[in-house]
Structure 1
Amino acid sequence: MARPTPELIYALRQTASNLQNGAPYQWGHMGGCNCGNLAQQLTKLNKDQIHRYAMQRHGDWNEQAEDYCSTSQMPIDLLINELLNVGLLLEDLKHLERLDDRAVLLRFPFEKRHLKHNVREDVVAYMNAWAELLEEQLLNKITLPAIDQFVLAALV
């Protein structure tokens, strides 16, 4: 599962909002699909640029993640590297494209866990649920220093 970062959480929520408000969505287009829309938000590249980069190599996002090379200078690998730098893992790209990460799906009632990977509303729901999960994980990592009894007495 992705490393919970404020930037990634914001990007997931913003991408979901953009899609909900009519942003171009086309599951078969590398720049306009589930990962493509998130990549647009995180990299500020447009869907056509992302698609062009991806088409320099074969395959969908799953195959692009499989073929990723951190030392390659191929544009798609540089783009994927940007996604990894904000907290994503290669596995997250595969799960996002198929809407099938178990931890995210468990946030839905049983009868609503069968999301369709190419349905805009399901993508929006998945991204929002994933953002909530990451936010909870991030907040659970925050620990506040204990308040010294002397300081506490001074505040009263």
Structure 2
Amino acid sequence: MARPTPELIDALRRTARKVADGAPYQWGHMGSCNCGNLAQELTRMTKDQIHQYAMQRYGDWNEQVADYCDTSQLPFDVIINQMLGAGLSLEDLKHLEKLDDREVLRRFPIEARFLKHNRRDDVVAYLNEWANLLEEKLLEKIKLPAELFDLQVA
């Protein structure tokens, strides 16, 4: 599971909002699919730049993630590297493309867990719920000093 950071949580929510508001979404396009839309937020590249770099190799996001090399300096590996630097793991990218991370899906009611990986509304719901999960994990790590809880009555 991704490393919960305020920046990643914000990027997930921005991506969900952008897709919900009608940003280009096409599951078969490497720059405007599930991972592609998040990559736009994390790298500040356009969908066309991401897609162009992806076409220098073969395969979809899952295949390119499987072939990822952190030292290759191939443009698409650099994109993946930036996403990993933001707190994501290779597994997170695979799950995002298929909307199938069990920890995220368990948060949905049973009847709503069967998300379609190429349906805009399902992508938005998954991104928002993933952001909520990461935010909860981040908040669990925050320890406030005990003296903040000591209320003195005058």
Flag whether TM exceeds 0.5 (same fold).
yes
Q: Which amino acid aligns with 1:124?
A: V
Residues 5/115 of structure 1: CA separation in 2 closer, same or farther (3 Å cut) = same
Give the Cα separation in 1 of the matches to 2:28 and 2:122: 16
Give the Cα separation in 2 of the matches to 1:137 and 1:64: 29
Alignment of 1:1-156 (within 5 A): 1-147=1-147, 153=152, 156=154
Give the Cα separation in 1 of the matches to 2:105 and 2:53: 30
**Which ranges in structure 1 are unaligned for 5 or more consecutive residues?**
none
Q: Which amino acid aligns with 1:142?
A: I
C-alpha distance after superposition, 1:55-114 (max 9, x if no partner): 111111101111111111100011101000110000000000000000000010000000
**SS of the counterpart of 1:68?**
coil
- Report the alpha carbon displacement of residue 146 of structure 1 after superposing the two structures with TM: 1.7
TM-score w.r.t. the length of structure 1 is 0.95
C-alpha distance after superposition, 1:118-156 (max 9, x if no partner): 00000000000000000000000000122189x854x74
Q: How many residues align?
A: 154
Q: Which amino acid aligns with 1:48?
A: D
- Structure with higher Rg: it is 1
Give the Cα separation in 1 of the matches to 2:32 and 2:23: 9
Give the Cα separation in 2 of the matches to 1:9 and 1:53: 25
Give the Cα separation in 2 of the matches to 1:71 and 1:96: 24
More divergent stretch after superposition (128-137 vs 139-148):
139-148
Give the Cα separation in 1 of the matches to 2:141 and 2:151: 24
Give the Cα separation in 1 of the matches to 2:64 and 2:88: 14
What value does the CA root-mean-square deviation take over the aligned residues? 1.4
* Poorly superposed stretches of 4+, deviation over 2 Å: none
**SS of the counterpart of 2:17?**
helix
